[in-house]
Amino acid sequence: MCGIVGYIGQRDAFPIIINGLKRLEYRGYDSAGLALFDQELIYKKTKGKVADLEQLFKSVEDKKGQIGLGHTRWATHGEPNDINAHPHVSNSGNLVIVHNGIIENYEPIKQTLLNRGYQFNSDTDTEVLVNLIEDVMQKEQVGLGKAVQIALNEVVGAYAIVVFNRQKPDEIVMARLGSPLAIGIGKDEYFIASDATPFIEFTKNAMYLEDEQMAIIKKGKEPDIRNIKDDRKIVPYIQELQMSLDQIEKGGYEHFMLKEIYEQPDVIRDTMRGRVLPEQNLIKLSGIDNHLNKFLNADRMIMIGAGTSWHAGLVGEYLFEELARIPVEVEYSSEFRYRNPIIKENDIVIPISQSGETADTLAAIKLAKQKNAFIYAICNVVGSSIPRESDSGTYTHAGPEIGVASTKAFTTQVMVMAMMALKLAKEKGTISMSEYNMYLSELASMPEKIEKTLQTDLYIQQVAHHYKDATNALYLGRGFNFPVALEGALKLKEISYIHAEGYPAAEMKHGPIALIDENMPVFVIATKKGQYEKVISNIQEIKSRKGKIIAIVTEGDEQVKNLADHVIEIPETVEAFTPLLATIPLQLLSYYIAVYRGCNVDQPRNLAKSVTVE
């Protein structure tokens, strides 16, 4: 949460930082701020979006400076307002800082600083930190880099910080613990950001700070990277970015979410590329091949994740148990990390994450590692913290997901688990060769089937218009489609603010049925494969209570058509792969309902894309 951009070099910093902040707005968007130094320090900040901030920089004079930093905020300490927005400036007016994270022990530090005469304008932990750094500089008579290091050894919490001193405007200092920071390396210039998107058009050379590392960056010099705790010097590992500019632009779509829904056939192809090889009867996953014995001897898999990624884990449970006969447990990482989970020698822990930065999932991995678990990550963002902390894994290759509501990340995560489960099923002999071949060719056909599913778009717009004023909604599915129901409900509530619940269809009778009346839309996944007849009975129960039924059915279905108010057809597939198709109409329904309600689809209220605080 919170996006950070910094620049030091020969160019004007303002356009780089403001455009960078727009790209990072998915990380938080309740307030924004930007500081530049030319002859003097100029900083402005405001409640609201980066576009509101841009308006504040009116004159050419305002925008001058070849060093600067900016921030887009998702509030943790202190309400979103102008004063609490970053950057924060130290009491002397010399140091300026932006921060992503939480300083947990800021209260006692603030008290000590108050006793020493410091004053505070905001309610933030960040203003405490910048003054602590200043205090260390003065007390210890050290430069900014050393002071940052000493101060950070006093704080407890999580942070990515970027700070500079207006009296020494040729250097920027940054540090990380728990929140990401990337450094783009140009010719005599450096770009700093929470991820690489703000500098992709300027340089492909980047490095990522690891936890407990800090960097001192000066124009024209190699970055000085150190371990915060013991001052050990670290040799930078510079990597070439694979991302391109058009991947992070809207490409003619009105919203990133719609673009990302429509990208699914292509990104699913990317997920399978070089891995699903039907002509060789093969699924190649180097992560599994390199640790095959671990997987073949696994007594259990424990999937951990949050939100949509947790839903993908639930689909994974059905896939691994059905195909490879490996017992699976699925846990919210936020729960897992604070239990004392029992992890045995032959367990495999599988974190699932789009961003690779979710704080709870990272902490859960660290706990599992302490218990000697083997960690196999399923992640989208290459080089992010979760894969770096894991022993092995598979990237989903969904490309940058910018809409806050996760769409293509989910289907690609499910695709990775389908590949893994099928590969292991073959290795373990838990399915016959003819079943394996059938599943493999079905998997290979998924991109075309998703393309076909997307053709329901126009009809879905009509359905969405019909239900745009609903205040509640129920989503029902059974078996593999129960997690799809959960995901459908999450998508609707997060972007349209309609209250929605997902349930296993048969559970409806145990409570939620009391809610059903003529105003309640009930979205039911009623595809032919699976417990079709049972779901039809559930539909009858809804109908006799006058609920409105919107059913996702298999192409050509007649039975449900006669019962439901609206039916949306998806191509036929095996039950195990239905989630890859049934999810798509639910994504589109949520999208259009939110658009008709005038909601900010890509940046729903109170949310942030990457939850780097617990």
Question: What are the residue numbers of the active site?
Answer: 2, 609
CA separation for the pair 239, 250 (Å, rounded): 26
- When CB distances to ligand F6R are compared, the closest residue is 307
Using the minimum distance from each CB to ligand F6R, give the nearer residue, 380 or 538. 380
CA separation for the pair 246, 259 (Å, rounded): 12
Using the minimum distance from each CB to ligand F6R, give the nearer residue, 355 or 527. 355
Footprint of ligand F6R (CB under 6 A): 306-309, 353-355, 358, 361, 405-406, 490, 494, 610-611
Q: Which amino acid is at 555?
A: E
250 burial (CB, 10 Å; 0-12 / 13-18 / 19+) is: middle
382 burial (CB, 10 Å; 0-12 / 13-18 / 19+) is: middle
Using the minimum distance from each CB to ligand F6R, give the nearer residue, 49 or 493. 493
Q: Let me know: does 465 contact 306? Beta carbons within 8 Å.
A: no
- Beta bridge mates, 467: none
Using the minimum distance from each CB to ligand F6R, give the nearer residue, 365 or 570. 365
Tell me the closest approach of the beta carbon of residue 250 to ligand F6R, in angstroms.
18
Using the minimum distance from each CB to ligand F6R, give the nearer residue, 90 or 309. 309
The CA-CA-CA angle for residues 565, 492, 301, to 5°, reads 110
Using the minimum distance from each CB to ligand F6R, give the nearer residue, 271 or 361. 361
Tell me the closest approach of the beta carbon of residue 74 to ligand F6R, in angstroms.
12
Q: What are the angstrom distances between the C-alpha of 517 and each of 172, 176, 265, 573? A: 61, 52, 37, 33
Using the minimum distance from each CB to ligand F6R, give the nearer residue, 308 or 392. 308
Tell me the closest approach of the beta carbon of residue 377 to ligand F6R, in angstroms.
11
Using the minimum distance from each CB to ligand F6R, give the nearer residue, 203 or 353. 353
Tell me the closest approach of the beta carbon of residue 310 to ligand F6R, in angstroms.
7
Tell me the closest approach of the beta carbon of residue 357 to ligand F6R, in angstroms.
7
Specify the 3-state DSSP secondary structure of 325: coil
Tell me the closest approach of the beta carbon of residue 403 to ligand F6R, in angstroms.
8
Q: At what angle do helices 144-152 and 125-140 cross, to 10 degrees?
A: 120
Q: Let me know: does 387 contact 393? Beta carbons within 8 Å.
A: yes
Q: How many CB atoms lie within 10 A of CB 428?
A: 15
CA separation for the pair 258, 468 (Å, rounded): 17
Tell me the closest approach of the beta carbon of residue 398 to ligand F6R, in angstroms.
11
C-alpha gyration radius of the chain: 25
Q: At what angle do helices 578-596 and 408-428 cross, to 10 degrees?
A: 170
Continuous H helices in 1-80: 13-24, 50-56
Using the minimum distance from each CB to ligand F6R, give the nearer residue, 324 or 611. 611
Beta strands in 450-593 (DSSP E): 472-477, 499-504, 521-526, 548-554, 566-570
CA separation for the pair 295, 291 (Å, rounded): 7
Tell me the closest approach of the beta carbon of residue 53 to ligand F6R, in angstroms.
25
The CA-CA-CA angle for residues 573, 574, 575, to 5°, reads 115
Residues near 554 by Cβ (< 8 Å), separated by ≥ 6? 527, 528, 529, 569, 570, 571, 572
Residues near 89 by Cβ (< 8 Å), separated by ≥ 6? 35, 41, 43, 95, 96, 97, 130
Tell me the closest approach of the beta carbon of residue 486 to ligand F6R, in angstroms.
11
